[in-house]
Structure 1
Amino acid sequence: MNHGTRTLAPAGVREQTRRYLEEHIDQLFRDDEDIVAAGLIDSMFMVQLVGFAEGEFGIEVDTGELNLTHFCSVDAITAFVLGKATTLTED
C-alpha cells in the first residue's frame, strides 16, 4: 500500500493516535506510558490499533513488525508511523 510522497506531521500523528486511544481507554495515560504493561489494552485491541494505524496513516504493517514495542505507547506508535511514512516516501 504505497501512497507515494505522503507527508505526515509528527504532531498530527501524535494527536490522532492519542485521540483514538482516549476513545477506547477510560483511564488517563501519558504519551510515554506503556499502555500494554499497564494493562490498559489487550491483544484484541492491539489488532484494532494496527488496523487504525494502517487506515489512518496509510502505512502497511508487515508481519515481522507486529511487535509490542511499536504499539505500546503514543510515543512508540508515533515513531513507528513516522518511520514507515519515511520509508514510503523513499520508495
Structure 2
Amino acid sequence: MDTPNGTEAADAASVTEELRAYLSGALGREPGPDEDYFALGLVTSLFAIELVNFVEQRYGIEVTVDDLDLDHFRTLGRLREFVLAKAAGRGAAA
C-alpha cells in the first residue's frame, strides 16, 4: 500500500467511505470519525460480532482474539486505522 503516487491515501479514503456506508446503514445515521457509537448506546454486542465479520469478509483480513479490543472498533477513525494496519500486515493498530 505504501506508494509514492498516493495509492495509500486513495485506499484509506475508500476504506473510510466503505466503513462509513456500512456503519450508517447499521446505525441509521452517519457517524462522525471520532463518535463512539458503543458509548452512545447506538449498537449492541451482536452488532460488534457483525462488524468483525464484515471487516474480515470485506477486507480479507483475520481478526484474531488478540485484536478483539473494543478500542479498535468503537469509532469510524479507529476502525479505519485498524483495517489499514491489518491489511498492510502490520497487525493491530496501536
TM-score (norm 2): 0.80
The alignment yields a C-alpha RMSD, in angstroms, of 1.6
In structure 2, what is the Cα distance between the partners aligned to 1:28 and 1:78?
A: 15
* Runs (5+) with no aligned partner, structure 2: 1-7
* Runs (5+) with no aligned partner, structure 1: 1-6
Question: Over residues 10-36 of structure 1, what are the superposed CA-to-partner deviations in whole Å (9 max), with x where a residue is unaligned?
Answer: 001110001001111124431111111
Question: Over residues 53-90 of structure 1, what are the superposed CA-to-partner deviations in whole Å (9 max), with x where a residue is unaligned?
Answer: 000111100011111100001101100000001117xx
Name the SS of the counterpart of 1:87 in structure 2: coil
Q: Identity over aligned residues, as a percent?
A: 38
Match of 1:38 in 2: 40
Q: 1:1-91 alignment to 2 at 5 Å? A: 9-87=11-89
4+ residue segments displaced more than 2 Å? none
